[in-house]
C-alpha cells in the first residue's frame, strides 16, 4: 500500500533507531507491527499524517511485509520511500492559510491575531526578524484561547497564534532540525484551530484543507527513485 510520513530535518528514523532514510531503499524492522506502538508507519493522506510529523521532510511511501491497517494510518515491517521533499516552506505557508481561513470566519477578529499572520508572512521572506515574530506571537490572545471550542473568535486567534508560532523563532537559535520541526507543529495546530473556529462545518473544513495541502505538495521539489 502507499502512504505518507514526515521525517526530521536530518532524515533519520526516531525512537533510538537512527538509520538514514534514502529514496528507493527499503527499511525493515523485526517486530510485530502495531499501530502507534511498533513498526514503520505511514498515513493515508498528507493532512492526516501531519499530526504525527517528526519534522518537515515529507515522504511518499510504499509499505510491505506484514501490514496492519487503521482508520487513518498503517504500520508495517517494510517501508520504501518512493519520493522525498523538504516541506518546511510549504508547511509555514499552509499554517498561514489555515489561520487566514479561521480569521475570515469571524466578523471582528482580534487585531493582534491578524498581526501575527502579517508578521509571520514578512518573516517567511526575510523581512521580519525572529524577535519580531516572537513578539507578535507573545501579544496574541490565541494561546490562551487554544481550547476555545465554543468561541469562534478565540479559535481564530488560536489559529493565528500557531501559524505564527513563537516556538519557530525560539528554536531558530537552536538546531536546524528543531526549527524545521516547528514548521510541522505550526501547520498541525493551525489546522485544529481552524476546525474549532468553524465548529459547524468541521468536516468541510477538513476536506478543504486536505485538498489544499495535497495541491501544495505537488509543487515541491521531489527527490525520486532513479
Q: What span, in angstroms and rounded, lies between the C-alpha atoms of 91 and 162?
A: 12
Distance from C-alpha of 181 to C-alpha of 7, rounded to nearest angstrom: 9
CA 109/CA 49 separation, integer angstroms: 30
* Residues near 34 by beta carbon (within 8 Å), at least 6 away in sequence: 68, 75
Give the C-alpha separation, 201 to 199, whole Å: 5
CA distance linking residue 169 with residue 185, whole number of Å: 13
| Alpha-helix runs per DSSP H in 105-151 | 111-124, 130-138
* Nearest-angstrom CA–CA distance, 97 and 69: 31
Backbone angles phi, psi at 129, to 5 degrees: -85, 170
Q: Which residues share a beta bridge with 61?
A: 3, 81
**Domains of the chain: which residue ranges?**
2-86, 89-217
- Model pLDDT for residues 148-171, shown as the tens digit of each residue: 545 677 777 878 887 887 555 434
Q: Which residues lie across from 86 on neighbouring strands?
A: 57
- Identify the CA nearest to 179 among candidates 167, 190, 191, 187: 167
* Other Cβ atoms closer than 10 A to 44: 17
Q: What is the pLDDT of residues 15-63, one digit of tens each?
A: 899 999 999 999 999 999 999 999 999 999 998 898 888 888 999 999 9
Residue 81 has pLDDT above 80, yes or no: yes
pTM of the predicted model as reported, rounded to 2 decimal places: 0.87
Which 3 state secondary structure label does DSSP give 141? coil
Indicate the burial class of 137 (C-beta count within 10 angstroms; 0-12, 13-18, 19 or more): buried
The neighbouring-strand residues paired with 68 are 75
Tell me the C-alpha distance between 62 and 219, whole Å.
21
Q: Is residue 57 left, alpha or beta, with left meaning phi > 0 and alpha meaning psi from -120 to 50?
A: beta
Predicted local distance difference test score (pLDDT) of residue 125: 92
Residue 54, pLDDT score: 85
Residue 217 and residue 46 in contact, taking contact as beta carbons nearer than 8 Å = yes
Amino acid at each position: 500500500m502507499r502512504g505518507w510520513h514526515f521525517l526530521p530535518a536530518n532524515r533519520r528514523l526516531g525512537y533510538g533507531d537512527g538509520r538514514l532514510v534514502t529514496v528507493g531503499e527499503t527499511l525493515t524492522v523485526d517486530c510485530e507491527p502495531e499501530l502507534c506502538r511498533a513498526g514503520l508507519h505511514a498515513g493515508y493522506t498528507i493532512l492526516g499524517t501531519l499530526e504525527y510529523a517528526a519534522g518537515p521532510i515529507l515522504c511518499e511511501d510504499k509499505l510491505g511485509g506484514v501490514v496492519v491497517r487503521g482508520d487513518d494510518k498503517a504500520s508495517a515491517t517494510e517501508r520504501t520511500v518512493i519520493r522525498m521533499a523538504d516541506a518546511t516552506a510549504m508547511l509555514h505557508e499552509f499554517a498561514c492559510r489555515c489561520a487566514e481561513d479561521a480569521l475570515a470566519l469571524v466578523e471582528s477578529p482580534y487585531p493582534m491575531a491578524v498581526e501575527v499572520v502579517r508578521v509571520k508572512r514578512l518573516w517567511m521572506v526575510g523581512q521580519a526578524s525572529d524577535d519580531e515574530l516572537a513578539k507578535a506571537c507573545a501579544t496574541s490572545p490565541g494561546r490562551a484561547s487554544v481550547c476555545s471550542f465554543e468561541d469562534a473568535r478565540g479559535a481564530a486567534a488560536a489559529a493565528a497564534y500557531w501559524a505564527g508560532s513563537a516556538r519557530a523563532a525560539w528554536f531558530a537559535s537552536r538546531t536546524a532540525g528543531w526549527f524545521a520541526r516547528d514548521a510541522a507543529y505550526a501547520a498541525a495546530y493551525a489546522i485544529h484551530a481552524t476546525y474549532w473556529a468553524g465548529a459547524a462545518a468541521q468536516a468541510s473544513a477538513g476536506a478543504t484543507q486536505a485538498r489544499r495541502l495535497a495541491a501544495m505538495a505537488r509543487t515541491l521539489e521531489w527527490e525520486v527513485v532513479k
